[in-house]
A and B are shown apart, each in its own frame.
Chain A
């Protein structure tokens, strides 16, 4: 079992995967509490569309996807905070359109063989560039999150109050959208378009079953996310199951476990 580390791509996948799990769990708590979960989901689909276009145009997919996803993040944020249009439906339209574009581009350019890896992730897909990219962006995400921790809590708990007392809530909402975009971009290749949003949402929902304060939820989410990732990867290597899907299933089991524990604790 331990000779798996002798493969370069496996080491890369584990480093990138662990970093993605860490970032996703941090940003996920905020997204869930801000009722922005749909933004994470929408962005992963936009990322899929952008990656296929980038690949078809012979660009390094991640270089093309990164700006596209960031721009979309700001657009989705604008849509969600606009009360005139129903945010959920608008995001659903954007997200399914991006998926459709991606699939069409794949089939026109004959990249159908890659489709599976784009949608459900692949650990072999993590190249050297991707790994460096992921490490740099993770450092950016994690440090930004902790530098603005108090502000992020304030705008998440009560945006009106934060605004009234002089916090520029719009700027912090954009910071949150930007961090989400970065997380989605680095997580997309390993987890896949359809599974990255699970990685964002699951750990914090799981933690909220038991922890009732913000710091507790954050710490627990990070722990849950990392533990699930390593268990998932281990099972994936041992039983030859798809990595992304196995990690998500591990998260599901953890969610059920936490739910049961919380039921017992309440007695």
Chain B
């Protein structure tokens, strides 16, 4: 069942298009990784999906989904380091768009507690967000994103700047959330983990690639970007652009 349809979308900032005529469909339960070089328009596309920026041309169709029902984990640098907020306060702020009431009610708190336990931060509820390690902060922000959605979550480079253990933790959490039926759309530079975890890959470049992770590994563009020799018959004879780096 399709959840989000991107139809001939052209997006850019301040009227200058950075990606043109892109079409693909995100189905319920997909784990889509969006990859591509810096400046290729990954984040711009993501903002389009979130409804933060409107496409210059084409349309984004949501099926059985309001665009405010998309959970969002922004890039880490977007959040102030020294902001005084407890873990609970941060996670509760994900519940804000639910029915309007002056203070958070018990229902909100239950949702927040549940999501804090999903990201394994229950022992740190009262701690200050700014005192946490980078990996813990990302987990808290993931819990907040989960409070805002039951359907789809958009993650913008969720492991950038994390150490290998925190990175692995983060990936296994995302995988677990995906298994529970939440659709995952992730912008990432970590291409090797992307092909390992994702069901689908969107590679944005001059000619965009969209397909399953398996198709991507064996595609020409995937081969160039992965920088690893795929031993299969189809791939081994393809030219390598940066083969020396292997």
Q: A165: shortest Cβ distance to chain B, in Å? A: 4
Q: Contact string, A123-164, partner B, CB cutoff 8 A, digits 1/0? A: 000000000000000000000001101110110011011111
Q: Are A165 and B148 in contact (CB under 8 A)?
A: yes
Q: Are B103 and A165 in contact (CB under 8 A)?
A: no
Q: Does A263 contact B (CB under 8 A)?
A: no
Task: Determine if A63 is an interface residue (Cβ-Cβ < 8 Å).
Answer: no
Question: What separation, in Å, do the CA atoms of A219 and B79 have in the docked complex?
Answer: 23
Q: Which residues of A contact B93 (CB under 8 A)?
A: 150, 153-154, 157-158, 161-162
Q: Kindly supply a per-residue 1/0 record for chain A positions 23-58, scoring 1 wherever the CB is within 8 Å of any chain B CB and 0 otherwise.
A: 000000000010000000000000000000000000
A238 at the interface (CB under 8 A from B): no
Q: Which of B39-97 contact A (CB under 8 A)?
A: 50-52, 66-72, 74, 78-80, 82-86, 89-90, 92-94, 96-97
| Known contacts A146-B102, A151-B96, A153-B93; A213 and B86 CB within 8 A of each other | yes
**With contacts A150-B96, A214-B89 known, is A165 near B72, CB below 8 A?**
yes
Contact present for B96 and A162 (CB under 8 Å): yes
Tell me whether B97 and A166 are in contact (CB under 8 A): yes
Closest B-chain residue to A33, C-beta based?
B83
Assess whether B50 is in contact with A214, with CB atoms less than 8 Å apart: no
Output the least CB separation between B105 and chain A (Å): 11
A107 to B79 Cα, complex, angstroms:
47
Whether A153 contacts B80 by the Cβ 8 Å rule is: no
Known contacts A158-B79, A208-B84, A213-B84; A165 and B94 CB within 8 A of each other: yes
Chain A: number of interface residues, binned into ranges: 20 to 34
Answer yes or no: A177 CB below 8 A from chain B CBs: no
Given A149-B102, A150-B96, A165-B148, residue A212 in contact with residue B131 (CB < 8 A)? yes
Residues of B within 8 A of A78 (CB): none
Task: Please list the 6 inter-chain residue pairs (A to B) with the smallest Cβ-Cβ separation, ordered nearest first.
Answer: A166-B68, A212-B128, A213-B86, A166-B97, A164-B50, A164-B72
Write the residues of chain A forming the contact surface with B, with a CB cutoff of 8 angstroms: 33, 146-147, 149-151, 153-154, 157-158, 160-167, 208, 211-217
Q: Using a CB–CB distance below 8 Å, which chain B residues touch chain A?
A: 50-52, 66-72, 74, 78-80, 82-86, 89-90, 92-94, 96-97, 102-104, 126, 128, 130-131, 144-145, 148, 154
